[in-house]
Amino acid sequence: MQRRVPQVLRQINNKNSIAEDYFKIINTAERKSGIISKEYSRYSFEQSTSQQQPQIDQRISDLQILVRANIYRIQTIQNRIIDIERKYETVQGYVEIIAKNQITLYMLNKK
């Protein structure tokens, strides 16, 4: 148990960097979705030009893939955060047990 506590504490310290990554990915996904909506607008505006249609379709497809990849990365980071939170709760439980044991030892030694 004592060996696991420092490892979990390091993971908890990494939680801030994970959260920063999470928000960067969300911002990227929002930008990409904005680009997709602009591409759709351009697509509908330029729909009459059949030469550009395949290029626009390909660009929209590429952007949709990027957004799906970002959504997957967001879900992965959310799962990592949940896992770290569970480990943090476990460590909190260990700390409470250790504190109770220390109090008990103190009271027994005081007598």
Tokens for 50, please give them. 């059949």
- pLDDT exceeds 70 at position 86: yes
Q: Residue 19: what pLDDT?
A: 66
HEC string of the chain equals CCCHHHHHHHHHHCHHHHHHHHHHHHHHHHHHHHHHHHHHHHHHHCCCCCCCHHHHHHHHHHHHHHHHHHHHHHHHHHHHHHHHHHHHHHHHHHHHHHHHHHHHHHHHHHC
The 10s digit of each residue's pLDDT in 96-108 is 888 888 888 888 8
> Cα–Cα distance between 77 and 25 in angstroms, integer?
9
| Mean pLDDT, the chain, whole residue set | 74
The 10s digit of each residue's pLDDT in 64-84 is 888 888 888 888 888 888 888
Q: What is the pTM of this model?
A: 0.45
